[in-house]
Structure 1
Amino acid sequence: MRAVVFLSCLVVVLAADKYNSKYDNFDVETLISNDRLLKAYINCFLEKGRCTPEGADFRKALPEAVETTCAKCTEKQKNNIRKVIRAIQQKHPKQWEELVKKTDPSGKHRAGFDKFIQSN
């Protein structure tokens, strides 16, 4: 019985080390294929426009995700983030640079995050 309680506690602790999986099935394809929607999310991240509830959550997690190279992300979240960032880099490079300066002003985490984005 003690083993079951211990394992249950361990699962809870390990799960807490990840971001909430409620956005694992976020429709990234619609976001990156709709430039107006993508711009709205970019403006949200840059605090230049209104945010959807999802956008506000993503904006809050972004600095930590950059700093830790998405260590708390689920695999699905990592793949979704890569897709969105690549779309922003390709379609809106100036806003991407603005976002980088906002989330990592010292540039300390840029190389690691760039490597993360290019992987997979």
Structure 2
Amino acid sequence: TPPLPLWLAYWSPCSCWGLLVAAQDKYTTKFDSVNLDDILSNDRLLNKYAQCLLDADDRNCTPDAKELKRAIPDALTNECAKCSEKQKAGTEKVAKFLLEKKPDLWKQLEAKYDPNGEYRKRYDDRIKKLKS
């Protein structure tokens, strides 16, 4: 039910790569064509997105990563209610990848976007399913 720069919203902090900027009631689908497999299979690209999401400013962000970064807090809060089905699927894909292959990056993203563990608790069942 993740393209790369969209991790961290639907499943837990760190898995929203499928979301991206918000209009009032839906996130933009402008970046839905981003190929997540290309990003996830390329450490250089993945690290560029991660740097954007973790940095305090947007200086190192591509347009799609910048939109994702702006959408993540809202998507975490509203359980990705504004996400398209493609964005939800992308979010799950990215979350599963990060949990299995890049757990340290997942933890860094959680530390930034969920410092109190609020969303971790909310999405715990979904995270367990992704890990199994």
Q: TM-score band, normalised by the shorter chain? A: 0.7 to 0.9
The AA in structure 1 aligned to 2:117 is G
Greater relative contact order, per chain length (Cα 8 Å cut-off, separation 6+): 2
- Indicate which of 62, 68, 75 corresponds to 1:65: 75
Structure 2 gaps, min length 5: 1-22
* SS of equivalent to 2:37: helix
How far apart are the structure 1 equivalents of 2:115 and 2:63? 25
TM-score if structure 1 supplies the norm length? 0.75
Structure 1 residues 98 and 54: alpha-carbon distance in aligned structure 2, compared to 1, 3 A threshold: same
With normalisation by structure 2, the TM-score equals: 0.69
Identity %: 40
- For structure 1, the 5+ residue unaligned runs are 1-14
* Residues 63-102 of structure 1 aligned to structure 2 (within 5 Å): 63-102=73-112
**In the alignment, which residue of structure 2 is the partner of 1:19?**
27
**Aligned partner of residue 64 in structure 1, secondary structure:** helix
Q: Which has the higher helix share?
A: 1
Which structure has the larger Rg over C-alpha atoms?
A: 1
Change (3 A) 1:23 1:92: same
